[in-house]
Amino acid sequence: MMFTQSTKHAYSLLSVVSACILSSAVYAHDMLPAPKESGAMLFTNATVHSVIHGSLEHTDVLVADGKIVAVGQKLATPAAIETTNTTETATEAGKASSATAALAANAVVIDATNKHIYPGLIALDTTMGLIEIEMMRPSNDAYEVGFINPQLEAITAFNPDSEIIPTVRVNGITHAQIVPQGDGLAGQSALVSMDSWTIEDALVNTNKQFHLYWPHIRWLSSDADKRQEQLDDLSKRVDKVHSAFSDAHRYQLALKAGKIVKTDLRWQALTPLFEGNAQLFVHAQSQKQIEEAIALSKIYGFKIVIVGGYDAWRLADALSEVNASVIYTQTLSLPKRKDEPIDLAFKIPALLKQANIPFALGFSSDWNSRNLPFAAGQTVAYGLTKSEALQSITLDAAKILGIDDMGAIAPGFKANIILATGDILDPMQAAIESVYIDGRKIDLNNRHQQLYQKYLKR
């Protein structure tokens, strides 16, 4: 169950403790969150997949205070100069070089010869930590009753001790967008770290993210009467969406004019969206749904992100007109229409790229989102380059969430790092050795590995 911020604070400490005992403790892993890094670290002689500057051979990465300080060759030598600082004067560059060399000289050295360094992966559109066992309703906190619930926050139901989290981060996923599910305006999502003690520790600061599931008909009946009933119901639900935003808009105007008599938590929550300080994530697949979402954004000037986006590649001009981006979630799906090529869903990321539509790849699941890097690898066989596929689950994912210091191996970026001996987009040879979140080395043990070791000894 998700709560509003005000409702959450209304509960007593006893209620919170009781809830934790009855729910979170039952589904809690026993891997300790990593302690804060104690000093600088220097990864040496690696192949660095920087995302921003391509792949860099025989390259060092210097990390301190949870950030990437420098990327270059032989950083521990006085002659090391950060190649990214090309606009510095010679004197300034010399000072930076000396400071970098001094920090690198005292860093813990991690030999990464013949290994690969990647930025941590960002899983979009997940229910990580909201669902523990899909078929057990008491462990499913992704849904809430009601059609219009913009005030609900998924983060309040997030379980940082979920058994699923360690099984996902072992594939290099360091952060996940946790998204409420439902109909209509389902609530607000959040970006969380995959290693934390508490909700507060896990939460990554971003702008507000509201989620609207655009009404649709899942299966259109072949019976004429039933089909008409479905179409009438669909029309009513679309009208309900427009009515909600119309009411919210009037509320915002009254709020500005100081004429609000009674606070409405639903419309109050939407204030950042109308002020341009939030994004509306519209879950829509078909061309008609996406066109209707674009029309809504034009009325109120919303910043929108299309989630799903099966037909988004067909609407490049319309999406560009409202500066919309896409989270494509159908990478491993079958075609949605009988007359479409069997591999169309696999090709759509390349089609989005060709149409110059900003996009990232998502994997709409909880435990199954572990397959995100392999879904990205699938796109390489259908038109994307390896660097484009990697960017779609790192830097591009961060950009869609409005974050400018995640998703790349470059100075100033957070030290979310994957160290592997193989290609992380290939499930047969990824061989991830270690994962770092904000410079902290994460315990990669998990329930799956424990069970494997247990039955290996049978």
Question: 243-294 pLDDT, tens per residue?
Answer: 999 999 999 999 999 998 889 999 999 999 999 999 999 999 999 999 999 9
Residue type, 169: R
Q: In the prediction, which pLDDT does 4 show?
A: 62
* Extents of the domains making up the chain: 31-119+407-458, 121-404
> Strand pairing partners for 190?
178
Question: Do 60 and 75 touch, CB atoms closer than 8 A?
Answer: yes
Q: How far apart are CA 376 and CA 372, in angstroms?
A: 6
Mean pLDDT (the chain) is: 89
Q: What are phi and psi of 236, to 5 degrees?
A: -65, -40
Q: In the prediction, which pLDDT does 15 show?
A: 40
The CATH superfamily of 121-404 is Metal-dependent hydrolases (3.20.20.140)
Q: In the prediction, which pLDDT does 98 show?
A: 75
Question: 73-96 pLDDT, tens per residue?
Answer: 988 876 554 444 444 444 454 555
Q: In the prediction, which pLDDT does 113 show?
A: 96
DSSP per-residue codes, 9-54:
HHS-HHHHHHHHHHTGGGG---PPPPPPP-S-EEEEEEEEE-SSS-
In CATH terms, the fold of domain 31-119+407-458 is Urease, subunit C; domain 1 (2.30.40)
List, for the chain, all residue ranges whose pLDDT scores fall below the cut of 70: 1-28, 78-96
Please state whether beta strands 325-328 and 359-361 pair in parallel, antiparallel, or not at all (unpaired): parallel
Exposed, middle or buried, 23 (CB in 10 Å: 0-12/13-18/19+)?
Answer: middle
Q: In the prediction, which pLDDT does 400 show?
A: 97
Helix (H, G, I), strand (E, B) or coil at 101: helix
Q: How far apart are CA 155 and CA 244, in angstroms?
A: 23
Q: What are phi and psi of 186, to 5 degrees?
A: -90, -15
Q: What are phi and psi of 191, to 5 degrees?
A: -100, 130
345-350 contacts at long range (C-beta below 8 A, 24 or more positions apart): 345/310, 346/378, 346/379, 346/381, 346/382, 347/382, 347/383, 348/309, 348/310, 348/312, 348/313, 349/379, 349/382, 349/383, 349/384, 349/389, 349/392, 350/379, 350/382, 350/383, 350/384
Question: Do 252 and 274 touch, CB atoms closer than 8 A?
Answer: yes
Question: Do 394 and 48 touch, CB atoms closer than 8 A?
Answer: no
DSSP per-residue codes, 165-180:
HHHHHTTTEEEEEE--
Q: In the prediction, which pLDDT does 83 show?
A: 47
Please state whether beta strands 121-126 and 325-328 pair in parallel, antiparallel, or not at all (unpaired): unpaired
Helix (H, G, I), strand (E, B) or coil at 360: strand
Q: In the prediction, which pLDDT does 93 show?
A: 47
Please state whether beta strands 203-204 and 190-193 pair in parallel, antiparallel, or not at all (unpaired): antiparallel
Q: In the prediction, which pLDDT does 78 show?
A: 60
Task: Residue 60: name the closest of 443, 51, 50 by CA.
Answer: 50
- For the question of whether the overall pTM of this predicted structure is more than 0.85, the answer is yes
